[in-house]
């Protein structure tokens, strides 16, 4: 099969159940999507909606002590990550799939020099000699916008600013020349001005390297600035999936609408009433029978509390778009 036609990352009916000694929760419940080469997909949702676990669990990158049971499939270039042996998965991590983490300060090892933390991955995945890897690291650091890379490589993480650290984190994510880059809220821990720089950097890198990016975020500014496609998650389930234009301009799912309304805007009149989302996300420890959003939904029908909605194609959209809300989809039609 040709790799240009096969999406590098395909998630199909993916479910994660986390087990603790006292209870089990299902932070990811039957999620399906795919990302094409050169495409940027943003996964959006509130904290606790399962968006991080959705992307980290298949790579076995959850915190120590978390016992995750996974069902469905997550295929990277046609191979299911869930069925891989430990060593196969280790070859994929950092090689085929790069990762950028939320908090660059804790993600970097505080007592190792930055250079060494970068070169070890490059040596491992690109098969370069230490000297070559060091040169490559210097190039990478220049690429992510850090001047004077040779002296940066001799420094420890605490000697850099937050933005500089995240640039190092991004360099680390792309150091293995991955086909897919997963970025977990890469801008959340940063100052607002630096956030924009990091978004620009990611965009630039994506163009140069042609990789697919999955960016996890709750910031619609990042979504509109960077993504082609957006997947909205609520309580572990996908509620809407479509192109950024469609979803941001004309949201279909009531949850997406509520979410967009709760973003403060400077373009509306000052005295416009601020609309938040009433209520709380559901407790994931309990099994949800119907639509997870139904209790907070203004459009909810009796049926919504009983039958779990599946993703339906939304008519009259500019591109393929799916929403897990039969009520709204019928209105569109």
Partner 1 sequence: MFRIVLNRAISAAILIVIASVFSFMIIAAFPGNVAGLIAEMRGGFVSQEVVDAVAEEFRLNDPLALRYLHWLGDVLQGNLGVSLRTGENVSTAMAQRLEPTIVLVLGGSVVTLLMGVMMGFAGAMRPNGSIDQLIRVIAVFNVSLPKFFLAAMLIYIFGVQLQILPTFGFRGPLSWILPCIAVGAVPGALLSRLIRVALEEAMSRPYVITAKSKGFGRRHILFQDALPNIVPVFLTTFGMNIAFVTQSSLIIEPIFSWNGIGAYFVEAARFRDLPVLQSCLLMFSILFILVNLAVDLIVMLADPLQRRARGA
Contact footprint for partner 1 (CB under 8 A): 59-61, 63-65, 86-87, 90-95, 98-99, 101, 103, 106-112, 120-121, 124-125, 156, 158-159, 172-173, 175-176
CB of 112 to partner 1, least distance (A): 6
CB of 101 to partner 1, least distance (A): 6
CB of 103 to partner 1, least distance (A): 7
Q: Which one, 30 or 173, has the nearer CB to partner 1?
A: 173
Quote the CA–CA distance of 65 and 314 in Å, as a whole number: 41
Q: Which one, 80 or 103, has the nearer CB to partner 1?
A: 103
Q: Which one, 29 or 123, has the nearer CB to partner 1?
A: 123
CB of 124 to partner 1, least distance (A): 6
Task: Write the CA distances from 231 to 24, 87, 234, 243, 262, integer angstroms.
Answer: 25, 31, 10, 9, 18
CB of 106 to partner 1, least distance (A): 4
Q: Which one, 125 or 257, has the nearer CB to partner 1?
A: 125
Q: Which one, 172 or 294, has the nearer CB to partner 1?
A: 172
Q: Which one, 26 or 125, has the nearer CB to partner 1?
A: 125
CB of 196 to partner 1, least distance (A): 24
Q: In what order do the strands lie in the sheet with 40-44?
A: 97-100, 180-184, 212-217, 40-44, 229-234, 237-243, 322-323, 312-313
């Amino acid at each position: 099969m040709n790799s240009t036609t096969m999406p590098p990352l395909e998630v199909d009916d993916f479910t994660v159940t986390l087990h603790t000694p006292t209870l089990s929760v299902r932070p990811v419940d039957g999620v399906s999507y795919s990302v094409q080469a050169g495409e940027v997909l943003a996964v959006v949702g509130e904290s606790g909606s399962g968006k991080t676990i959705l992307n980290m669990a298949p790579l076995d990158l959850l915190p120590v002590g978390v016992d995750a049971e996974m069902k469905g499939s997550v295929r990277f270039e046609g191979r299911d990550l869930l069925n891989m042996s430990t060593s196969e998965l280790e070859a994929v991590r950092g090689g085929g799939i790069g990762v950028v983490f939320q908090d660059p300060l804790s993600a970097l090892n505080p007592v190792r020099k930055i250079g060494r933390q970068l070169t070890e991955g490059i040596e491992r995945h690109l098969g370069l000699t230490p000297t070559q890897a060091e040169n490559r690291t210097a190039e990478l650091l220049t690429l992510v916008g850090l001047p004077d890379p040779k002296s940066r490589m001799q420094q420890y993480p605490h000697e850099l600013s937050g933005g500089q650290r995240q640039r190092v984190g991004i360099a680390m994510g792309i150091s293995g020349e991955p086909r897919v880059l997963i970025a977990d809220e890469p801008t959340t821990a940063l100052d607002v001005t630096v956030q924009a720089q990091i978004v620009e950097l990611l965009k630039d890198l994506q163009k140069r390297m042609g990789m697919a990016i999955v960016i996890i975020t709750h910031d619609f500014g990042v979504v509109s600035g960077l993504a082609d496609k957006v997947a909205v998650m609520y309580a572990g389930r996908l509620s809407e999936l479509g192109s950024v234009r469609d979803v941001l301009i004309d949201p279909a799912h009531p949850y997406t609408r509520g979410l967009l309304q709760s973003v403060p805007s400077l373009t509306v009149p000052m005295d416009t009433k601020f609309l938040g989302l009433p209520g709380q996300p559901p407790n994931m420890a309990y099994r949800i029978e119907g639509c997870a959003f139904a209790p907070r939904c203004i459009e909810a029908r009796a049926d919504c509390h009983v039958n779990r909605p599946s993703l339906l194609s939304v008519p009259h959209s500019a591109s393929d778009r799916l929403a897990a809300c039969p009520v709204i989809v019928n209105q569109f039609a």
